[in-house]
Structure 1
């Protein structure tokens, strides 16, 4: 009885009222994946450097990973309604286990690129893996109305906080190496085994999900009256995603290592605080958007964050650079929830699923193009170029978004 009472209490704290208890499984799984994504994004460049690869390899691995995730997301959208969601989630967990074991055992670039393409590694700060659309679909079935909104907010918050905690774990290989006498390469490979183990735990969690299908059989509605707006948004979002791809967490870690000689442990501490600030900024986005509007929140918080990023490229000291990057983190994520809400508010209700897919897939593909270019720039010795290019492109995106949509009301109409 006591265990049941404790379990019920934890479920109440974790889940909003009116949500199926099965959603707690997805939140726990998201937390485990976030921890793994947090330390992998920091350790990946160090691992590749220890293996003897250069900056270009870091960019290639990041690009290949993002391309694979984008294609997997598109495939889920095409065939996901024909296959049981639980089965796809179980497959994704097995793929996570295989990815961790493969990266722990392989040392050649081409096999690593193949695993990066078909696997579940995430070199960025957000969730771009196969898990995301599958878990989102399952979460959408677990609640309705305001409870569904609250559930998605908690899902995002769990992801952001767990990734921040995971970044701290990037310092563990240094401790393992120092206390056990193991080589740095072996110590980092242990973390990939931890990644695979987390995949096994997630597999066990998913097995507890009920094997039911969607509650609704509503047909998908293609884009109609909102097609023009959605196409313009997708093009602009792709510019923003390409800019962000120039500086995914793995490449930012590489930049900090090369410019200031930052250790992986210190980089992990930085990303921990950056992750906390990013999660806090998402919480602040909703009340701010109620005061100044969705579009203004997206634009006028994003531009200062981009200016901080450009300034960091020229900052003469590590302390000033990290301060500018942390200020950027405190502002740069406010457009994440507001962007999704804005898309949903400028299309008709029946077009919302199609609009979400149409804006997400091109964004993922655009982000995948950038890391290799960034790796080339770093390899040429132009260390500040990815930061400046990322910031400048994002500012251009923000201004273009403001000009193109300043007269569009967030209800599908125009002023």
Structure 2
């Protein structure tokens, strides 16, 4: 008599699902978490390498800010399209299209060396100059993840999503030292070694295409839900959230990782490898903080977690920019900021998904991301201009002040709004 045994690959897949997914989350979330990890690695090293790469091509700090702003503007417009017409198309198809854009972005940046073609690639591509995810992938993945979990564990799922993104971004920042290793081991020039990293970015886009192609065209739970639609009854609250999120994003754009990397290199002569190590440690702290956000949100609520962890992180940034006389103290304050500043990410996402009806989630994710992307797109160029004219620390100070104002406004506007979905 034959004895049935589980297939080894099936057993390993089930074990991986148990580790990666909170209990009660549908397995369709696994490719999305894996995709976030792959993108996080690329975003982590690109944010550190981008200023050095552009300087090696002969550009100045103004060009670094201009390209950073252009990437964010392009991401914002792509997100607008997702919010307007994305509900008409399968999310899988849109994710696959975004993966193709990522492939083209990597090849474009690795092969081009003049400003205007790079600006075009930055505008239509998926490059991310900061630590957070601002690409067109974000609203698509958020809407799909929200459908994969019940409300009581949705915050845990988004925390897992944020944790994976933070850890992979930290590993990516550490990989910013790979070009130096390639220069020593493969006799490549510094510029060519950095170009190799952009080629790898493009190859990752192909891997993502393959990963998302395996998603079901329609989520199994969709049959029990009404068809996805643009915003309806939740429009007023989403518009208020979007306006406030835009203030937070504008402030964050003043210190995207590519500009913070440039600031550290210019003010303290920090090497590229040491800068990568700093962002690695910052990413690890961000990862653990997002884990801590889940039990904290259960105890004091989503909104309170967003606000009362954000304000101390902004104070750390202000003190680091204005009063830290040494590199050691500055890095310590920036690391303390990293331990607190991202605790609002999973809670903010869960809050948006909870205050809108299920059919509106894709549109709400897009339309709250759009102002964030547009606002964040304006500030890197402004910050780079201030740095170029000798006001290097001003963007950091402005970021801290604006973020505190945002937190207080959020608390005042939504302290009586209870999540219902």
TM over 0.5, shorter chain: yes
| Counterpart-to-counterpart distance in 2, 1:29 and 1:347 | 26
1:340 and 1:210, CA in 2 relative to 1: closer, same or farther beyond 3 A?
closer
Matches within 5 A, 1:28-43: 28-43=34-49
2:340 to 324, 331, 334: 331
Task: Report the TM-score when normalising by structure 2.
Answer: 0.90
Aligned counterparts of 1:142 and 1:349: Cα–Cα separation in 2: 12
Question: Aligned residue for 2:326?
Answer: 317
CA distance in 2, matches of 1:258, 1:230: 40
SS in 1 for 2:131: coil
Q: Quick check: 1:342–1:410 contact (8 Å CA) kept in 2?
A: no
Q: C-alpha displacement at 1:194, in angstroms?
A: 1.1
What is the CA distance between 1:347 and its match in structure 2? 5.7
Structure 2: how far apart are the matches of 1:10 and 1:293? 30
Q: Distance in 2 between matches of 1:299 and 1:2?
A: 46
Does the Cα contact within 8 Å between 1:223 and 1:355 map onto a contact in 2?
Answer: no
Q: Shift of residue 356 of structure 1?
A: 4.0
The alpha carbon displacement at 1:19 in A equals 3.9
Q: Partners in 2 of 1:183 and 1:91 — Cα distance?
A: 33
In structure 2, the residue matched to 1:361 is 370
- Are 2:60 and 1:67 aligned? no
Higher mean alpha-carbon deviation, 297-306 vs 351-360, is at 351-360
Tell me if the contact between 1:307 and 1:391 (Cα under 8 Å) persists in the aligned partners.
yes
- Per the alignment, residue 242 of structure 1 pairs with 250
Size of the alignment, in residue pairs? 410
Q: Partners of 1:132 and 1:335 in 2: how far apart?
A: 16
Gaps of 5+ in 1: none
Q: Is 2:408 the partner of 1:399? A: yes
Cα pair 1:243 1:389 within 8 Å, conserved: yes
DSSP-derived class of the 2:161 partner: helix
Rounded Cα–Cα distance in structure 1 between residues aligned with 2:346 and 2:34: 21
The residue aligned with 1:380 is 389
Change (3 A) 1:322 1:143: same
Q: Distance in 2 between matches of 1:399 and 1:4?
A: 49
Q: Secondary structure at the match of 2:231?
A: coil
2:171 alignment counterpart: 165
- The answer to whether the 8 Å contact 2:305/2:344 transfers is yes
Are the aligned partners of 2:84 and 2:230 in contact in 1 as well (CA < 8 Å)?
A: no
Query: Within 2, Cα distance between the matches of 1:161 and 1:33?
Result: 11
Summarize the Cα distance change of 1:259–1:102 in structure 2 as closer, same or farther, 3 Å threshold.
same
Contact 2:96–2:212 (CA under 8 A) maintained in structure 1: yes
The 3 A distance-change label for structure 1 pair 221 and 112 is closer
Q: 1:291 aligns with which of 284, 293, 299?
A: 299
Aligned-pair distance for 1:120?
0.8
Equivalent in 308, 311, 316 of residue 303 of structure 1: 311
> What is the CA-CA distance between 1:35 and the residue it aligns to?
0.5
Per-residue deviation at 1:12? 2.4
TM-score by length of 1: 0.91
Structure 1 pair 99–347 and aligned structure 2 pair: CA distance change class (3 A): closer
Change (3 A) 1:4 1:38: same
Is 1:279 equivalent to 2:279 in the alignment? no
CA-to-partner distance for each residue in 1:165-188, whole Å, 9 max, x for gaps?
111000110111122221110110
Greater mean deviation of Cα atoms: 138-147 or 193-202:
138-147
Does the 8 Å CA contact 1:246/1:390 hold for their aligned counterparts? Answer: yes
Relative distance call for 1:322 and 1:409 in structure 2 (3 A) is same
Call closer, same or farther: CA 1:58–1:350 in 2, change over 3 Å.
same
Asked whether the 8 Å contact 1:101–1:196 carries over to 2, the reply is yes
Superposition CA RMSD, Å: 2.3
2:83 and 2:362 in contact (8 A); partners too: no
- Residue 152 of structure 1: CA displacement? 3.1
Give the superposition deviation at 1:254.
0.8
Shift of 1:149: 4.6
Contact residue 156 and residue 294 of structure 2 kept, 8 A? no
1:142-291 equivalent positions in 2, closer than 5 A: 142-146=148-152, 148-212=154-218, 214-215=222-223, 216-218=225-227, 220=229, 222-224=231-233, 227-291=235-299
1:82: which partner in 2? Answer: 88
| Higher mean displacement: 278-287 or 314-323 | 278-287
Note if contact 1:243-1:390 (Cα within 8 Å) is conserved in structure 2.
yes
**Separation (CA, whole Å) in 2 of partners of 1:181 and 1:352:** 51
Deviation sequence 1:196-237 (CA, Å, 0-9, x none): 11112222222323334654443536344x655443332222
User: Unpaired segments of 5 or more residues in structure 2?
Assistant: 1-6
Q: Work out whether residues 40 and 122 of structure 1, in 8 Å CA contact, stay in contact via their aligned partners in 2.
A: yes
